[in-house]
Structure 1
Amino acid sequence: MNAPHFSEPVEQDGVPASSTAVTRTHRWGFGAFFLAEAVFLGASVVLAASFGDIGGAGSTAGIALALVLILPTLLAGITAVVITLVRGQGPVADFGLRWQRSDIRTGLLVGGAGLFVTVFATALWTRWVGEDANSAVGSLLAGVNIPPALAVLLFFHVWLVAPVCEELMYRGLLWGAMERLRWSRFTVFVLSTAAFAIGHFEPERTVLLLVIAIPIGVARLITGRLTAAVIAHQVNNFLPALGLLLLSLGLLPAG
């Protein structure tokens, strides 16, 4: 049986996107997303159990925290890429992960607008919820004094690397699995947005995460490719990553 084909608009040589099409082919479905999610959860549980209660100061606590925060997300992203290579045509073809100027521009514009909305929504959420508004990452960093080099590493991970890995999972594997079943683009957008918010496993912040996820999904929706969503996600993560950097360096109060 031949693998299903998916066409999406793409801008080429100045020709409007609606005038051309690129075919994407993959043979993976929901199982691919659940496998990547299982890798993330499994690595998180193993590392958390290995290190126990992370606290205090010094390089040991800092390294443990960095591994807990970085490694599960990175492994899940790598799993997503491997799946596309084994069961598809690779992330470029399967996800439309091309670094085109039009997609970068769209990602910056949508991400910038989303950042404005996110800042406003976060301010309202913080006033409503109070101290419980902190993210899981922020709560962990509040209890550990880590070396500056590791603080910078975490900053770049939260800002640039984590968005790539998360997009490979949610608006890559999950989006593609629903595309493969010929679900409507709006349905794919809604369900992947909800899964993104729920998949962070922070019940008290799920509504806020939905607000954050909407512009990222919009970037994927209007371009049909993952690149714009990655850029929008990175733009959205810059201020939180900067805040975590300042917090971990002791330049912002933990409360």
Structure 2
Amino acid sequence: MAVEPPDEPPTGLIASVRAVGREPAPERAGQRWGFGAFLLVEAIFILSAVFITALARTSGTDLGSSVTFILVGSMVPTVLAATAAVVVTYVRGNGPWQDLRLDWNRDDVKIGLKLGALGLVMTYVAAVVWSRLVGDDNATSAIGELVDGAGLPVAAAVVMFCYVCFLGPVCEEIIYRGLLWGAIERQRWSRWAAFTLTTLIFAASHLEPLRTSLLIVIAIPIGIARLITRRLTASVVAHVINNFLPGLTLLLVSVGVMPA
């Protein structure tokens, strides 16, 4: 009796997306964390941001003019939340490499680069349309509002650039398409459900109501990278590429090379 050859894995982005619905959700043996872990991490993010804001106001510091509070307020809540997510996987699971799907290969990087480039195009088109709808005065992100007119020193501007382009994307991917995605998969929901929910929650969690629709567009190619590879590396790379030009613009504006 002839033995059937195994099915070849799908190649190309379109084929990979089509194959998603036919593939079972990955097993999560040993994972003892779920939505409660994500809610804990989100609480850490929100409470730390509130604490930093309250500390600045108590000390009479203007958040928009203090270099220290600009850096601390922008970076610390996200880094703390991502650190808590990693700790959860050690305490209640198998560690971040397995639970958050942090293993990677070259193909993941290639897919992340392609979808990151696609995301740049989508973001540019969406930003142009969105700014015409809401006006240029409302087309600035929360970090952009903090940096705008602050006259950051070169060292602080470089630190902010590194955060926006590299550290921030890694931390956000750990929280949303790592921890939250894993919590959804643990409920045996479909990967399309994980993609949809993480995309919407990622956009809403930035707490910028006017920009939520734009953030959803930004998040779609990043989520697709996670969807078709099942690993976090592709979405991290896509997120980094997507943030690079905005981060570079932020750097050039903050040091006065480009007009605000």
Specify the TM-score bucket, using the shorter chain as the normaliser: 0.7 to 0.9
Distance in 2 between the 1:224 and 1:233 partners?
15
1:172-191 equivalences in 2 (<5 Å): 172-191=178-197
**Which residue of structure 1 aligns with residue 18 of structure 2?**
none
Q: 8 Å contact 1:54–1:144 — kept in the other structure?
A: no
Question: Which residue of the other structure, out of 237, 241, 250, is the alignment partner of 1:235?
Answer: 241
Q: Deviations over 1:186-230 (max 9, x none)?
A: 111111100001000000000000000000100000001111111
Distance 2:187 2:166 in 1: 31
> Is contact 1:118-1:212 (8 Å) kept?
yes
**Structure 2 counterpart of 1:169:** 175
Q: 1:117 aligns with which of 110, 118, 122?
A: 122
Whether the 8 Å CA contact 2:104–2:231 is kept in 1: the answer is: no
CA distance in 2, matches of 1:48, 1:102: 42
Identity of aligned residues (%): 52
| Contact 1:32 1:83 (8 Å CA) reproduced | yes
Deviations 1:82-135 (A, max 9, x none): 011111111110122113111111111111111111111111111221110110
Distance in 1 separating the partners of 2:92 and 2:219: 27
For structure 1, list consecutive stretches of 5 or more residues without a partner in the other structure. 1-8, 10-17
* Structure 2 residues not aligned, in runs of 5+: 1-8, 10-21
Deviation at 1:140, TM superposition (A): 0.8
Task: Give the stretch that moved more between structures: 123-132 or 69-78.
Answer: 123-132
Taking a change above 3 Å as real, the CA distance of residues 55 and 197 of structure 1, as seen in their structure-2 partners, is closer
Give the deviation of 1:23 after TM superposition.
5.4
Greater C-alpha Rg: 2
**Alpha-carbon distance in 2 for matches of 1:22, 1:37:** 25
Quote the Cα distance in structure 2 between the aligned partners of 1:229 and 1:108: 9
Tell whether the 8 Å contact from 1:216 to 1:232 is kept in structure 2 after alignment. yes
1:159 aligns with 2:159: no
Query: Greater shift after overlay, 125-134 or 171-180?
Result: 125-134
Amino acid at match of 1:192: T
Which of the numbers 187, 206, 228 marks the counterpart of 1:222? 228
Instruction: State the shift of 1:63 in Å.
Output: 1.6
Q: Which residue number corresponds to residue 149 of structure 1?
A: 155
- Contact 1:148/1:249 (CA < 8 Å) preserved in 2? yes
**What's the C-alpha RMSD, in Å, of the aligned pairs?**
2.2
Deviations 1:154-200 (A, max 9, x none): 00000000111111111111111110000011111111100001000
In 1, distance between residues paired with 2:146 and 2:26? Answer: 44
- Within 2, Cα distance between the matches of 1:116 and 1:237? 12
CA contact (8 A) 1:97 1:227 kept: yes
TM-score (norm: length of structure 2):
0.86
Q: 1:205 aligns with which of 206, 211, 215?
A: 211
